[in-house]
Amino acid sequence: MPTQVAITHGEVLEDSRGYLYDAAMRRAIIEMGGSRSADVLEALGALRLAAKLIHDASDRFAERHGLSDSRARVLTRLDRSPKRRLPLGALAEGLSVAPRTMTDIVDVLERDGLVKRIADPADGRSVLAEITPAGKAKINTIRRDATARQAAVAKDFTADQLVELRHLSLMLVQNLRGR
Amino acid sequence: MPTQVAITHGEVLEDSRGYLYDAAMRRAIIEMGGSRSADVLEALGALRLAAKLIHDASDRFAERHGLSDSRARVLTRLDRSPKRRLPLGALAEGLSVAPRTMTDIVDVLERDGLVKRIADPADGRSVLAEITPAGKAKINTIRRDATARQAAVAKDFTADQLVELRHLSLMLVQNLRGR
DNA sequence: TTGGCATAGTGAGGTGCCTCACTATAGGGA
DNA sequence: TCCCTATAGTGAGGCACCTCACTATGCCAA
């Protein structure tokens, strides 16, 4: 799942007011009349690029421990859950992926001995993923380091900027989920 | 490539200062001492969620025209390029994906008759993807609508908010690319 | 009680994404 | 000229992601 790729393109520059922009992206966005559309596309493009780089970095980190970003997230959720086990459907919802995808992720985790599938005594349709001792050991080994790395990515952000980034992102989430 | 999934979870709420936050995400992030780390994780989580929903929506839209988000982006770049053709490597860099991935994407586009691989007369190693008339027709049919849809996602954003979102995203990009 | 619908998970099949290994061509020295 | 290294693309293999179809179970209403 790693990515190292090293895309050299996409120079990030500063405009006259001190705001960053991506030169290649701006060039790529045809100047459509109002430029309002262009501003939106630039912002969304920047957000998507940031998300991809975050994902790549997270995957590369997890891969050094024999995990992937998704598998690490599943283990984290299981380890934090009271009974150390959750139905696949709940895990899928928590990671915002389709149920079928969680089947694939748990397949790999189970093959690697990090989780075990068990029947749900309360619902015959449901399958619970239960974290194994090996899974617990693995996730505890990397958790602290993983958190520190994530936090370091935003080391030059003020508290207000973090709030603003979250707020603007969730405005988009609302627009995309609503309606 | 579509996604309709309809994740119902992840309620987006407003805090006392009017800033949005995701209740489930906040609950999921263990209160680590300083809470600075928690704030970062919340912001990054929100950004990644927004990016995923944007991608899903884009894919679902493209799928209605027999494309995917990635394939539409490749066609757009080819159609905008002066000679209507670009080497696979340049396309990969433009989309921030590994070269191998572009081979896969062009395979599908070529199978569908939307691009054609041609030898690069100037470099025997290079392979150019050239958009076909069918590819041009396809991308021109959806371009205007696609732009409008993307723009609508941020319809309640002020111009300043768009700039701020771009700026904060690119700060992350710099941190992730630098070093 | 039983039929009918909703829900949980998986098999089949396909794209997007990656790494690693390999081929082939380019290009700069010695 | 001849290597030696760098670059461009692809084959092989593998995970993450999806839709669609199907099974099995749960559940409600008649």
Query: Between these two residues, A65 and A27, which has the higher pLDDT value?
Result: A65
CA distance B3 to A50: 21
pLDDT at B7: 35
| CB distance B41 to B27 below 8 Å | no
pLDDT at A10: 67
C-alpha distances (whole Å) from A68 to each of A58, A84, A88 are 8, 20, 18
Query: Does A158 touch chain B if contact means CB atoms closer than 8 Å?
Result: no
Percentage of chain A beyond pLDDT 70 is: 92
State the ipTM, two decimals.
0.91
CA distance A83 to B96: 41
- The model's pLDDT over A34-83, given as tens digits with 9 standing for 90+, comes to 688 899 999 999 999 999 999 999 999 999 999 999 999 999 999 999 99
pLDDT at B53: 97
Task: Write down how long chain A is.
Answer: 179
Query: Does A147 touch chain B if contact means CB atoms closer than 8 Å?
Result: yes
CA distance B70 to A7: 17
Residue type for B72, please? A
- Inspect the interface and report whether the beta carbons of B28 and A156 lie closer than 8 Å: no
Instruction: Give the start-end residues of each E strand in chain A.
Output: 12-14, 20-22, 85-87, 115-119, 127-131
Q: Which of A172, A174, A176, A177 to probe by mutation at the B interface, max B CB count within 10 Å?
A: A172
Return per-residue pLDDT of chain B as tens, 179 residues.
333 333 335 689 899 899 999 988 988 887 665 688 899 999 999 999 999 999 999 999 999 999 999 999 999 999 999 999 999 999 999 999 999 999 999 999 999 999 999 999 999 999 999 999 999 999 999 998 998 998 899 999 999 999 999 999 999 999 998 74
Which secondary-structure segment (H or E) carries B22? strand B20-22
Q: Is the CB of A18 under 7 A from strand D?
A: no
Can you list the alpha helix ranges (DSSP code H) found in A112-158? 133-153
Q: Is the CB of B55 under 7 A from strand D?
A: no
**Set of chain A residues whose Cβ sits within 8 Å of the Cβ of B165:** 43, 46-47, 165, 168-169
Q: A–B: how many Cβ contacts below 8 A?
A: 237
- Inspect the interface and report whether the beta carbons of A52 and B51 lie closer than 8 Å: yes
What are the structural domains of chain A?
1-64 (no CATH), 67-179 (1.10.10.10)
In this structure, the dihedral spanned by the alpha carbons of residues A17, A18, A22 and A23, taken in order and rounded to 10 degrees, is: 60
Percentage of chain A beyond pLDDT 90 is: 78
Query: Residue B115 CA to nucleotide D8 C1', Å?
Result: 19
Query: Residue A1 CA to nucleotide C28 C1', Å?
Result: 36
pLDDT at B28: 82
Query: Does A8 touch chain B if contact means CB atoms closer than 8 Å?
Result: yes
**Burial of residue B66 (number of CB atoms within 10 Å: 0-12, 13-18, 19+):** exposed
pLDDT at A53: 97
**Set of chain B residues whose Cβ sits within 8 Å of the Cβ of A24:** 94
In this structure, the dihedral spanned by the alpha carbons of residues B59, B87, B135 and B103, taken in order and rounded to 10 degrees, is: -50
C-alpha triplet A80, B53, B28: angle, nearest 5°: 15
pLDDT at A28: 81
- Mean per-residue pLDDT, A97-103: 98
Q: Considering only CA atoms, which residue is closest to the C1' of nucleotide C23?
A: B125
Q: Which are the contacts of A59, defined by CB distance < 8 A and separation ≥ 6?
A: A1, A2, A3, A68, A69
Indicate whether A7 pLDDT > 60: no
pLDDT at B29: 81
Indicate whether A149 pLDDT > 50: yes
pLDDT at A2: 37
pLDDT at B34: 60
CA distance B87 to A119: 52
Q: Is the CB of B100 under 7 A from strand D?
A: yes
Banded model confidence at residue A162, pLDDT cuts 50, 70, 90: very high
- CA A80 to centroid of chain Cα atoms: 18
**Cα-atom radius of gyration of chain A, to the nearest Å?**
20
Compare all CA atoms of chain A with the CA of B150 and give the residue at the minimum distance.
A41
pLDDT at A30: 73
